[in-house]
Structure formats: structure tokens, C-alpha cells
Structure 1
Amino acid sequence: MLKLLRVYLEELIQISSYGVKYMRMAFATCVQLGLSCIEEIYRIGGKLDLLITLKDEKAKNKSGRIYLDDFSNKHNIPLLKINNINDREVINALKKYQIDWLFIIGWSQIAKSELLKTPNLGCIGMHPTLLPIGRGRAAVPWAILKGLDETGVTMFKLDEGVDTGPIIGQVKIPIEPKETATTLYKKVNDAHITLISKYWNDITENKVEMISQDEALATYWPGRRPEDGEIKDEMTISEAERMVRAVTKPYPGAFYRTTNGIIRIWTAEISDYVKNECADITIKLKDGYLIPTEYEFFEGEINE
């Protein structure tokens, strides 16, 4: 009885302080896109009641991997380090802190039904395409590989499907002719910040409106592995140059196998003839040459 009374009094204090019941928010991320959102929440005067991230030893080579210890300590936010988003300790923590909304941003593990239903109002994610186009994985590389002239970021409520939940908002991103993964990732990061800033108050005041996705427009993009970035002799110079741009930093990079080892290529030029005889390396392809301008050479095999 005393516990219930204390909870009731806390809620009265929250209502009198904010005009509405204070929403308790949690955020799960292990990548820069998520940290940028967290930083924006605090820049605009928001607050988080729980941070969730991977244990330090997990996913060390994940693109954009970050750690939340410093932010947690600076703002005195409880930090839970886990192996999997569906672990029992996550469910228990969400209940302990009476979380209303859980943001899950830049997290590769699929949230299961119990996790999705544990926060009082649900879970919110972001996907770096204009959903329902490009459901799935590797959204930044695929947007370049497919030669799109536009992509974007979608904020949506998570459900049990893969990127299928109702849409809260979107930001469109133009793709330049020579766009690289590095520059597009920066645009995607900025779009995440824009969406957080635009919809934070609606979410915390329980005024957010959602629109169902049009299944007739849905497309799915498969995951990519580092070995999918291999440059092969039968490629055209256009295909190879696009591959280099699509998987450069923060991704693992394109590579070419030689008799002596592997060339990891971060930037490159193309030519239908060897225009620079002083170039350190030229790679003969189907219709011309790929000329690496920023690269690393590894003798023998390397772990992809």
C-alpha cells in the first residue's frame, strides 16, 4: 500500500511539474547514429531514464561502434550492458524503470514480441531508407550500389516485422553522382538528429501520429558481408568505382585480390586507358582501369 501511494504521489508531482504525466524514456544503441540522437535529446532539453548498449567486448568491429559510458556518467543515466536486446535483464530493467517508450537505433538484433510489448507505449526505431522502400540491411551501401538519386531516414514504431511498423516521420536525402558511404552516412546521421528534434515533444506528450506503410510499395534489401566488396576482373569500371564509393569508410572497404596479397581500396579513379603511368597500382577491368588513390596492401589473406 505504501509503495502504491509513493508511486501515486510521484505521478502527481510529475503532472504538476510538466502539465502532463512525465514520460519515462529509454534508449538502446551501440553506434554513432544512436549517440547523435541521444546528444540531440539532451541538447533540446530532453531526458532519458535508461541507456542500453552492447557489452564492451561485443561487435568491436561494427561500423560506427561507440560506447556510452562517458555520456551515462556525465548525465547520471543508468547504463545497462547486454548481449542481446531480448535478454531477460532488459525486460526486467524496462519494468523497473517503468519505461513508456524505448528507442532502438542502429541495433542489428531483431526485437521480439515480449520486448516490444514491455514498454508501456512501445518501441521506436529509425531506418535509413524511405520506408517501405529498402527494408532490411546495409541501407547506405545499397543506396549507392543501386544508383539511387534519393534516399532518406524513416522514424517508425517497431512491430514484429522487419521495418514494417507505422511511420512517424521521414527525412529525404538527395544522393549526389559521386556520393560515398562516408558522405551519405553523415547525411543519414544528420537526418536522425532532425527527426529526433522534430518529433521528440510529440512523443513525450503522447501526441505522435502514425501512418501505416503501403505494402504494395515495399522492397527488401539483403544484408552485406565484407567479402561482398570484392572487385573482380569481369566488372566494368563503372561497377567497380561504384563499389568503392559504396563500401568505403565507415564500412570495411572494397578490395582486390592479387597474386601477392590483397589491396584494400578506400578511394579510386577510373579510366578507359592507363592515363597515369606513374600510378602505383592500376587494376585492369572489363572496359578500362581502376586506379586506387587511397588504399592499403596486405600480404597473403586477411580476415574479411
Structure 2
Amino acid sequence: MKIFFIGTVSFSKKSLEKLLSLHAEIVGVATKSKSAFNADHVDLTPICEKNSIPVKYIKDINAPHVLEWIESLKPDVIFCFGWSSLIKKELLELTNLGIVGFHPTALPANRGRHPLIWSIFLGLEKGATTFFFMEEGADDGDILSQKTFSINYKDDAASVYSKMEHSALEQIEEFIPKLKKGSYQRIKQDHTKGNIWRKRDIEDGEIDFRMSSRAIYNLVRALTKPYFGAHLYYNNKEVKIWKVKEEDYSGNNIEPGKILNVEEGEILVKTYDGAIKILCHEFQKMPLKGEYL
């Protein structure tokens, strides 16, 4: 089974390495040299050169010259694991098996943008990894494989990303033989039972201490590395916040945003229903007790 591979994030690299370890026949790879969109961007060129796989940097995966190149490689199936733009009909219909895509939620639930970030921010206790046959809509094709994993209170973006990769790599090992033999099943999605998450804007990453402590905690852990980080403003300058801790605080008549204490580089701030201790941050100048954030 000849596979053409499309990807440009950390998970793309892990998936490609997994396929190579399974002795899959990779006939070509499309990737990007850089990405302003993907914080977890990875250039797949080095691994392709090491394994003598044809590879090209692609801006528009649907461009006619790209379609001609892919078609010339005669793939049986295309894998698209980590690509930020929609794929059009011409490419979807280029191979007999079509294109297998990936989405880290339990489709049909939570289609759309920034799935890991929203999963953590909304406090979900379970994540999922889904491989599906791509159609012209977003994340709406028949499911090939789906698996769930737990999201714990102490998990953050990095640990959930790792869990997602581990789950998905196990699935790849399971479904590759089925694709080769034609013994796989296609499970149709019931979109009446699903929802679509919107694109996250920069404003969604701003900490507002009028929020609950749990909401702030979830926001920070959802956006920490490998992502761009939550932020707040101090003296009109943006400050990245990478790690916080919920703290009990029962003091009366204290407004949200007031700094309750500053000690050894840690900042305790009143929230709507308690307090948050800022543990890891990028303050150039430490704020003072009694100031507001």
C-alpha cells in the first residue's frame, strides 16, 4: 500500500516515524518549512532525506502543480495528520482509498479548531483520538478508528499532547494492516449529536481575574507549552503566564485582580471565588502587593 503523507506538526513527525517503523511504503511527503499558525510546527524534511523519501514544501496543498506531483507518485491512500487548511474535492478523490485525516476529539463531538486547547480549558475529563476519511467539510467524514484517554486535573497542554500522541500511534499500528487487507470498517458520523468548536482568538488567552479560579487554572494549563501561553497586561505590557495554582481564600470585600502577596517570585492574586498563585511567568519587573492585575 503506497502512502502519500501530509503534515507539519510534532504529531506529524511521530506518525511518520511510526509508519516507517512499520515498514509502510511512503511515496512522498508534503510539509512546511515554517508556520505562523502552528506552535508545534515541525519540518519533516530531515526525516524524509534520511529515509530517501520525496518531499516538498507546500503552501497550497490544493494547487494544480501539487496535485500533479502527488498523482505522479501513484499513492493508494493519503494520510493528512497535522495540516491547517481544508482539502478540496480534487485531492480528496485522487486515490482509491481517499484521505485519512486525524482529529483529537471523540467525533462527531467537538469538531473544529484548537481541539486540545478547548478540551483542557473546558475542563473535559476525557480526550479522544479519531482517524476518519476526509470529506469537503471539517472533520465530518466516516470514522476509521477512535480511542479515548483520560484528562486529569494536573494535566496541561504538554501532557495531554503526549497522551494524544501515544493513543494515536497505537491506533496507526492497529489500522494499517486493515487498510492493506481492506478489512477496515467505516462508521458514519451522526452530526446531530455533535458540535463545532470555533477558532480561538488572541483575546481568548487573556487572563481576567473576574473569572473563577478554576477557569483561570484551566486557561493557563490549556495554553502552556508547546502552545503560545496565556497572558495578562501589567503597565500596558503583555506578560506570559505559564503555570498557576488554585488557592483557597475567604477574605471579604477584596476585588478580583488585587495582588494579595508577592513572595520568592510567586504572585497571589484574588479571583472571583478564591485566589490564584502565579508560579511561572515572564514579568520583567515584579508587581507589588496591593497592586491590581
Q: TM-score, normalised by structure 2?
A: 0.88
Paired residues of 2:31 and 2:45 also in contact (CA < 8 A): no
Task: Give the corresponding residue for 1:6.
Answer: none
Tell me how far 1:197 sits from its aligned partner: 0.7
Q: Tell me the residue number matched to 1:99.
A: 75
State the superposition RMSD in angstroms.
1.8
Partner of 1:149: 125
SS of 1:103's partner is strand
Bigger drift between 275-284 and 191-200 goes to 275-284
* Alignment partner of 2:22 out of 38, 44, 50: 44
1:234 Cα deviation after fit: 1.3
Whether the aligned pair in 2 keeps the contact of 1:51 and 1:79 (CA below 8 Å) is yes
Higher mean alpha-carbon deviation, 150-159 vs 281-290, is at 281-290
Counterparts of 1:110-259 in structure 2, within 5 Å, are 110-259=86-235
Aligned partner of residue 73 in structure 1, secondary structure? helix
Aligned to 1:26: 4
Residue in structure 2 matching 1:285, options 260, 271, 279: 271
Distance in 2 (CA, whole Å) between partners of 1:260 and 1:132 is 42
User: 1:282 Cα shift?
Assistant: 3.0
In structure 2, C-alpha distance between the alignment counterparts of 1:272 and 1:258, rounded to whole Å: 24
Q: CA deviation at 1:63?
A: 1.9
The runs of at least 4 aligned residues of structure 1 exceeding 6 Å deviation read: none
Question: Identity over the aligned pairs, expressed in percent?
Answer: 31
Instruction: State the alpha-carbon separation in 1 of the partners of residues 176 and 228 from structure 2.
Output: 33
Query: For 2:227, what is the secondary structure of its paired residue?
Result: coil
- Determine the C-alpha separation between the residues in 2 that align with 1:135 and 1:232: 27
Kept after mapping to 1: 8 A contact 2:119/2:127: yes
CA 1:93–1:207: 2 relative to 1, 3 Å: farther
Unaligned runs of 5+ in 2: 250-258, 286-293
- Give the C-alpha shift of residue 190 in structure 1: 1.1
Instruction: Tell me the matched-pair count.
Output: 275
Work out the CA distance in 1 between the residues paired with 2:237 and 2:248. Answer: 25
User: Contact (CA 8 Å) 1:226, 1:252: kept in 2 or not?
Assistant: no
Distance in 1, matches of 2:61 and 2:166, equals 25
> Which TM-score applies when normalising by structure 1?
0.85
**Cα offsets for 1:26-68 (capped at 9, x unmatched):** 00000011111110111122220111112x2x41562211011
**In 1, Cα distance between equivalents of 2:216 and 2:20:** 42
Q: Partners of 2:274 and 2:237 in 1: how far apart?
A: 22
Determine helix, strand or coil for the equivalent of 1:212: coil
More helix, by proportion: 1
CA distance in structure 2 between the partners assigned to 1:52 and 1:195 by the alignment: 22
**C-alpha distance in structure 1 between counterparts of 2:190 and 2:37, whole Å:** 35
Which range moves more in the overlay, 286-295 or 168-177?
286-295
Post-superposition offset of 1:275: 8.1
